[in-house]
Amino acid sequence: MMKGMLGGELWELLSTAIHAVHSVPRGRASPSRCQISIPYYNPSFAAASEAWRWRVPGLPRPTLAHFRGRIMNRVRAQLVRSHAQPPNLIQAAHPSTAARCNLNKCSSKAKEKVGFPQQSVHFEEMRHSTFCLVPAGDSPPSSRLYLAIAAGCIPVFISDQFEGAFATSVPWATFSLRVAETDVLPSAAPTSVDGGRRLGKRRGPQGPPAVNLTAHLAAVAADTASLAALQRALQTHAPSVLWEAPGSRCGHHALALATHALRRVCLATQEAPIGAPAPSIQQPQVYFGRPA
């Protein structure tokens, strides 16, 4: 689609540009051979002068964990199926509601009709939650990672291929948790056999997930020293990944990453004549915040 809009010549001219993205496009979706990962910008929550107070460690957070979003894959469906009923581990929209609406893609009237909260309500929920789940969606990255950090909510990655922006400069492991996608899905029971032959083709019963998410997060929350350390690290490093935070360092990190990408990847193509096919680039071609 992008190539069709740009045309072939402009596509080639942009091949040596640096393309900053929230998630690296699939295949040849971008003309650029230099792609760097940057955080989402959350202008809806940037104006509040008291925003920095939301990340002060030790604030009351009555909800253990939070997730609202569209149900678009097995991981999200399982989270809502397992944890949206009382006693709630998560505050989640009903699957049929979440399939039609999410935080960014519905008008205020449509959200009101299906019972999905406005952005301010959604963010209030995150501010009152200790943990915010960040499951994979239609692609590994999610803007909710940065919303969670803005709200002072410890992010819990449930997206195996997603890491936060500027990973070489920001110690994500000090203020986030990670759970494998397969660990929150039901485990398959052993297949019945008779003399080495399978009995039928129907799927057998499924066992519990490998990780009891409720117990896992409750244990972290109960360890007051560990939780306080996570919250302090989040407060410290939030300016490194939030464009809107006071003293934000996102611009510094983005320019440093772009400079690195330019020196290591792009310069090799700049001596080629305009319109000529760009030379093949040796790995790494795509940067996820990691050095070469």
pLDDT digits (tens, 9 = 90+) for 234-267: 999 999 999 988 889 999 999 988 888 777 665 5
Same domain, 83 and 143: yes
Label residue 100 by pLDDT band (50, 70, 90): low
Label residue 78 by pLDDT band (50, 70, 90): confident
Residue 148 token pair = 């969670």
Looking at residue 193, its pLDDT comes to 46
Label residue 26 by pLDDT band (50, 70, 90): low
Same domain, 223 and 145: yes
Same domain, 35 and 67: no
Boundary (domain end) residue, out of 213, 238, 263 = 238
Mean pLDDT of 18-31: 71
Label residue 19 by pLDDT band (50, 70, 90): confident
Residue 64, classed as helix, strand or coil, is strand
Sign of CA dihedral 126, 131, 25, 271: positive
**278 pLDDT above the threshold of 70:** no
Looking at residue 83, its pLDDT comes to 75
Same domain, 90 and 202: yes
**42 pLDDT above the threshold of 60:** yes
User: Smallest Cα–Cα separation from 75: which of 145, 132, 157?
Assistant: 157
Same domain, 118 and 220: yes
Boundary (domain end) residue, out of 203, 218, 238 = 238
Which tops the pLDDT comparison, 18 or 273?
18
Boundary (domain end) residue, out of 193, 217, 238 = 238
What is the pLDDT of the chain when averaged over all its residues?
76
- CATH code of residue 132: 3.40.50
Exposed e or buried b per residue across 156-175, where buried means at least 16 C-beta atoms within 10 angstroms of its C-beta = bbbbeebbbbbbebbebeeb
Domain limits for position 22: 1-39+243-292
Same domain, 158 and 142: yes
Label residue 200 by pLDDT band (50, 70, 90): very low
Same domain, 61 and 3: no
pLDDT digits (tens, 9 = 90+) for 105-158: 566 676 666 666 667 777 888 899 999 999 988 778 888 899 999 999 999 999
Same domain, 91 and 14: no
Same domain, 52 and 119: yes
Same domain, 35 and 50: no
Q: How many domains does the chain have?
A: 2
Query: pLDDT over 90 for what percent of the chain?
Result: 28
The rounded distance, in Å, linking the Cα atoms of 131 and 148 is 8
**173 pLDDT above the threshold of 90:** yes
pLDDT digits (tens, 9 = 90+) for 81-95: 777 665 555 555 444
Residue 21, classed as helix, strand or coil, is strand
Same domain, 120 and 188: yes
Highest average pLDDT, of 16-30, 35-49, 116-130, 186-200, comes from: 116-130
* Dihedral pair phi/psi, residue 194, rounded to 5°: -140, 105
Residue 272 token pair = 């080629």
Which residue has 């540009």 as its token pair?
17
Residue 82 token pair = 């397992």
Looking at residue 12, its pLDDT comes to 81
pLDDT digits (tens, 9 = 90+) for 2-18: 677 778 888 888 877 88
**55 pLDDT above the threshold of 70:** yes
**290 pLDDT above the threshold of 70:** no
Looking at residue 77, its pLDDT comes to 83
Same domain, 3 and 95: no
